[in-house]
Amino acid sequence: MYPLVKGIVALQAHVALPEGTFEEEHGRDGFYGPVSHLYRTHAPTAWSRIEGPLKPRAFNCLTTQPSAPTAILDRVPLLYNEDVVVHFARPTGPMPFYFRNADGDEIYFIHKGSGTIETDFGPLLFEAGDYLVIPRGTTYRLLPETTDNAFLVIESFSRIRQPDRGLMGQHALYDPAIVKTPSPQPIQEDREWEVQIKRLNEITSVFYPFNPMDVIGWKGDLTVWQLNIRDFRPVMSHRAHLAPSVHTTFQGQGFVVCSFVPRPLEEDPEAVRVPFYHRNIDYDEVLFYHAGNFFSRDGIDAGMITFHPQGIHHGPHPKAVESSKQKTATDEVAVMLDTEKPLRMTEAAQSTEWKEYYLSWQAK
């Protein structure tokens, strides 16, 4: 049956688009399933208005309030489904107690701030750009040395895994050897210590007359791990724009986390150099902007999240298509979360929303 070709098309996706057309990738299963490319005479994002709740959204996470050091745990949930919760935390200092999440694994992405994380397995130093992957059940405490901290936290109800590199080989994206793990460093401080354990979203406090970070050795393949986004080495093609799934950094049941880092744009003069339009029908897309110049998205700054729900189009802004012709590289750093199940927005997310974002594709 494949390939069916009808009408005026580009014979290879994202290359040499017919004059005056806008290419849409209409696909299933993220970028892995059956797919058609539609060559339109208008950008599918050039709507004049939208009535109803389904629209592209943008949230300014840095307008969530910084609060006490415990804000790491009083983190603000923004988006959630049955597999994953996206939180934002803006703690002002070290946690006075330890924490254990019995509900899920956690990925911290450090947008701002630096310090130490103490864990059962030993401490790690963290800085901006770090991913910290904390398996469910680990006892830990974050001790930022900075007061202006901003952490994106992805809570996963399944185990976080590294992606399958497949044909690219096991050292693609990031060499497993660049991943840091903690070494035991027991803390001897005999006073009362509290461990707050979250199970079914309820907190139980367990108290010890000694510091529970008393591990003097550990072995095995379950531990806390750390990767800085600057150590993510992207895969690209000089002749064709690749799907964002090539930047997969972590995965869990029902979602993937991808890292967008600076990379050269496609050199081939016929290759499209901006992301294609799509309506991402099987995945909700969440993008957190960490640093750099987000040239394909008008009005987006570092510390913001865009949320493109399944079923409605997104794609490059009108100016991005033009500016991509002059550029030779991207310099943006962003973290993407794609989820199979639709995400719901919390009230906290809506209170930080830039309500006009969905109109930002209108040509100015």
- In the complex, which residues of this chain contact Fe ion (CB under 5 A)? 285
- Nearest approach in angstroms of CB 272 to Fe ion is 14
SS3 content of the chain, % helix, strand, coil (to 5): 10, 35, 55
Residue closer to Fe ion by CB (options 76, 287) is 287
Nearer to Fe ion, 155 or 285 (CB): 285
Q: In whole angstroms, how close is the CB of 131 to Fe ion at the nearest point?
A: 21
Cα–Cα distance for residue pair 342/338, rounded to 1 Å: 10
Q: What is the DSSP letter of 238?
A: S
Nearer to Fe ion, 131 or 283 (CB): 283
CB of 283 to Fe ion, least distance (A): 8
Nearer to Fe ion, 25 or 118 (CB): 25
Least distance in angstroms from the C-beta of 309 to Fe ion: 11
Return the number of the residue (142 or 258) whose C-beta is nearest Fe ion: 258
CB of 49 to Fe ion, least distance (A): 22
Q: Of 226 and 296, which CB lies nearer to Fe ion in the complex structure?
A: 296
| Backbone φ/ψ region at 120: left (φ over 0), alpha (ψ -120 to 50), beta | alpha
CB of 285 to Fe ion, least distance (A): 5
Nearer to Fe ion, 103 or 285 (CB): 285
Q: From CA 192, how far away is CA 207, in angstroms rounded?
A: 7
Classify each residue of 147-178 as buried b or exposed e, where b means 16 or more C-beta atoms within 10 Å of its C-beta: eebbbbbbbbbeebebbeeeeeeeeebbeeee
DSSP string, 52-103: SS-S-EEEEGGGSPP--GGGGTS-EEEEE-SSEEEEEE---S--SSEEEESS
The H-assigned helical ranges of the chain are: 318-326, 347-351
Residue 112 token pair: 């701002």
Q: In angstroms, give the least distance from the CB of 36 to Fe ion.
A: 16
Query: Which residue number has the CB closest to Fe ion?
Result: 285
Q: How far apart are CA 164 and CA 175, in angstroms?
A: 12
Nearest CA among 286, 268, 276 for reference residue 320 = 276
168 DSSP assignment: G
